[in-house]
Every structure is written in structure tokens, then in C-alpha cells.
């Protein structure tokens, strides 16, 4: 899946399929000037344009100033987007504007239809967007949050080295069974 679940591609398919058809540019023309204004006000910030989203990054900005402006931006966008299918989502030093339906949890229905009754379900992530996926997976799924912070995942691992170790352990155990 790509763009937080907005597009899917079957491993055997040559192209990506949109989860929902939509015009990707109409709303961007309205939101982009606002994000660009915040770039002008925030040294070290920039805007990333994705197919289904616009993202204001402020990781390289002065921390307190970046957080203060991020709060201001979210408040402004929430009011502006209230009557639309768009939302402003906070991430780790980012504000992402995207359709509310473009999330990792939404894609599960299609995956479970295509791959009914899987033997093992594993999902890992370190971001707020991964919580949509953790919330919708069945209880028997292995859900792993990487890093600190609140989570809906069943397990927490401190860093990506720990996740690599876990994946290697799972692979070894799987190989030993067969």
C-alpha cells in the first residue's frame, strides 16, 4: 500500500489502484498557499507534495517555535477543513493534510478479502498513522509499536534495531518449523 492506504498494488499487478477515485489537485490549490505562508514564517520548514496529501515538515525548525506554529496551523486548518473530507493530522514534526479515508486501517478490508484467513498477521510502525492499522487488526495479530509513546499495539519495541532483531527471530523460527 502507498500514501497511508490511499493506493494498493497487488504483488502481481503492474500498476497501483486508488482506494477511492478522487480529484487530487482541487483542494491542494487552496491549502498550499497556507502551508507556504508557514514555510515563510518558519526557517527550516518545507512543504512536501504527495499524490494524496500535502505535508508541512518542521523537523529542522527551532523546536519551541516550530511546535507553536504547528499548533496555530492545525487550528487554522481544522476550521477551514471542517466541512470537507480532509483533515490535518499531526505526526512527528509534521502536519499532514489528506483525505480522512486515506489511512492504513481502511485498506484492511480489501486485504482480508484478497487474502482470507491468513495464518499470521504482523504489523509494525512508529507513527500516529500506524495506530489506525493497529486499532482495526484482529486481536490475534501481532502489532508492534516502535519507540516511545501511547499506542494501540500489543507490543512495544524501543527502536528499529529491536524490530530487526524480532523479524530475524521470527524468520529463524519459521525456517526451523519447515
Q: What is the mean pLDDT for each group of 10 consecutive residues in the chain (178 residues)?
A: 82 85 77 97 96 95 96 96 93 92 80 84 88 90 94 96 94 71
**Closest to 19 (Cα-Cα) out of 104, 86, 82, 89:** 104
Question: What is the per-residue pLDDT for 56?
Answer: 98
Give the pLDDT confidence score for residue 64 in this predicted structure.
96
SS3 breakdown of the chain: % helix, strand, coil, rounded to 5?
A: 40, 20, 40
Looking at residue 32, its pLDDT comes to 97
* Overall pTM > 0.85: no
HEC letters along 27-45: CHHHHHHHHHHHHHHCCCC
Rounded to a whole number of angstroms, the distance between the first and last alpha carbons of the chain is 29
For the chain, which domains are there?
A: 3-99 (3.30.70.1020), 117-177 (no CATH)
Amino acid at each position: 500500500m502507498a500514501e497511508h492506504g490511499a493506493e494498493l498494488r497487488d504483488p502481481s499487478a503492474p500498476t497501483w489502484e486508488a482506494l477511492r477515485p478522487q480529484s487530487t489537485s482541487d483542494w491542494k490549490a487552496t491549502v498550499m498557499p497556507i502551508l507556504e505562508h508557514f514555510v515563510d514564517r518558519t526557517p527550516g520548514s518545507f512543504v512536501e507534495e504527495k499524490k494524496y496529501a500535502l505535508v508541512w515538515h518542521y523537523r529542522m525548525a527551532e523546536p519551541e517555535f516550530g511546535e507553536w506554529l504547528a499548533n496555530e496551523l492545525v487550528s487554522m486548518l481544522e476550521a477551514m477543513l471542517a466541512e470537507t473530507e480532509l483533515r490535518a493530522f499531526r505526526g512527528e514534526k509534521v502536519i499532514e493534510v489528506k483525505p480522512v479515508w486515506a489511512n492504513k486501517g481502511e485498506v484492511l478490508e480489501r486485504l482480508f478479502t484478497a487474502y482470507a484467513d491468513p495464518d499470521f498477521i504482523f504489523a509494525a510502525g512508529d507513527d500516529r498513522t500506524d495506530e489506525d492499522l493497529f486499532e482495526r487488526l484482529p486481536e490475534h495479530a501481532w502489532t508492534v509499536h516502535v519507540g516511545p509513546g501511547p499506542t494501540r499495539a500489543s507490543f512495544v519495541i524501543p527502536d528499529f534495531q529491536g524490530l530487526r532483531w524480532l523479524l530475524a527471530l521470527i524468520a529463524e523460527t519459521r525456517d526451523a518449523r519447515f
